[in-house]
Each structure stands twice: as structure tokens, then as C-alpha cells.
Amino acid sequence: MPDLSPAAPFSDDARDAVYRAILTRRDVRSQFQPRPIPPGVLHRLLDAAHHAPSVGFMQPWNFLVIAEPRVKQRVADAFSTANTEAAHLFAGERRELYSRLKLQGITDAPLNLCITCDRERGGPVVLGRTHNRDTDLYSTVCAVQNLWLAARAEGVGVGWVSIFRDAELRAILGLPGHVVPVAYLCLGYVDELYAEPELATKGWRQRLPLKELVFMDRWGNSA
């Protein structure tokens, strides 16, 4: 017989801790401390990511840990080029605000981590992926979220840097053609976090009301 773990709800304290991690998670750009992440903590974070759900149990992720300063600097330079391009896509006051935002902590963070998706993992036919090829990408994003919530519980800050030219990041990291860089993350301890998401605090965008995002049975039917 299989070993079926109890499916009862968590204790109140354990449940509250899960929700606390979700609600206080932040995208960290500038609060990193220089102290290193111990190997045991890093292993727990990667193990949490590796326990993410994946369609067809394909587990399409790999974890590329980046500690070498020269590599981080090359990635930072690639970000800087792309970020300058991105700023010109906004106009007027929006461009001015964008230019004041700090959107990465690549060289500040003790570790960087690129979570990738191997689009050939599991072979040409994967259970659950037969009619939607992109479920491998969705699965990899679940690994990112698992790691981020585990990091919050460990007191480790995480920042997602997404402003790159894909080909340039691939070249720096030596990624094979069938491997997609899904998330480039900065990891390090932090002493404080914003009470609200930084982009909300700095006036870029506010959280949408949940009631406007929930429908019943058919698109547009208010819940």
C-alpha cells in the first residue's frame, strides 16, 4: 500500500506562516547584505524549487548558480544595455520615473541564480503536454515561486531581473539552444523589506482589487 500522508489542514500557526510568506514576499533590488548564503540554506532553497509541481512530472528545470564576479558583471552590463533600450519605450513622466527605479541587484547580491527550462526534457511526447507545449514553461515558473517563498521563510531576499536580450544572456551563460532562461534571480540576505511591493511604494503601479479579477462560470460574470 502507498504511504498516504495525512491531508488534514495545517495547524493555525503553520497555516499562518504559509500565508505570511506569500503576503510579505518582495522583489528585492537594493537591500542585499554582503554576507554569504550558507550551503545548507542554498540547498534547502533549491530543494524547495525542485519540489514544485510539473505537468507530467517532467521536472524541466535546471538551476545555474552564479557566484563569479566577472560573470555577474557581464550579466549586469547586458542588463544595462537592455535597460537603456527599455527606458525609451516609455514617454514623458513615465520615462523619468522608470529611469529612477533600481531594477536589479546583480552585482550587489552574493549569489545569482538562473532557473532554466529544458524544452526537450521528457522526450517528444509528455503526459499533459500533448496539446499545450508551453506547460513546461509554466511548470518552471512554479519552481521559481517555490524558491521565492522558501527564501522568504529563510530571510533571504530574491529579485527577478527580466530586462535582457535573450541571445546575450544565453551567450554569457553558455545555454544550449533547447534550454530557455526563465528567471534570472539575485539572492542574498536582507535586513528589511518594503511593507508594500517596491513598485507600488514608488508610484509605478498599485495592486488591482481582487473583486475585479474574479469571474464565475463565464468570462465577465462577476463573482
Beta strands in the chain (DSSP E): 61-66, 111-118, 156-161, 179-189
Distance CA 57, CA 20 (A): 28
Which residue, among 75, 82, 81, has the nearest Cα to 109 in the 3D structure? 75
The residue extents of the domains of the chain are: 28-212
136-157 pLDDT, tens digit each: 999 999 999 999 999 999 999 9
26-84 pLDDT, tens digit each: 999 988 999 999 999 999 999 999 999 999 999 999 999 999 999 999 999 999 999 99
Contact between residue 163 and residue 82 where contact means Cβ atoms under 8 Å apart: yes
- CA angle at residue 200 from 214 to 84, to 5 degrees? 115
92-138 pLDDT, tens digit each: 999 999 999 999 999 999 999 999 999 999 999 999 999 999 999 99
CATH number corresponding to 28-212: 3.40.109.10
Distant-in-sequence, close-in-space partners of 111: CB < 8 Å, separation ≥ 6: 36, 37, 42, 65, 66, 67, 186, 187, 188
C-alpha cell at 58: 517532467
160-204 pLDDT, tens digit each: 999 999 999 999 999 999 999 999 999 999 999 999 999 999 999
Q: What is the pTM of this model?
A: 0.95
pLDDT confidence bin for 1, thresholds 50/70/90: low
Q: Determine the 3-state secondary structure of 63 from DSSP.
A: strand
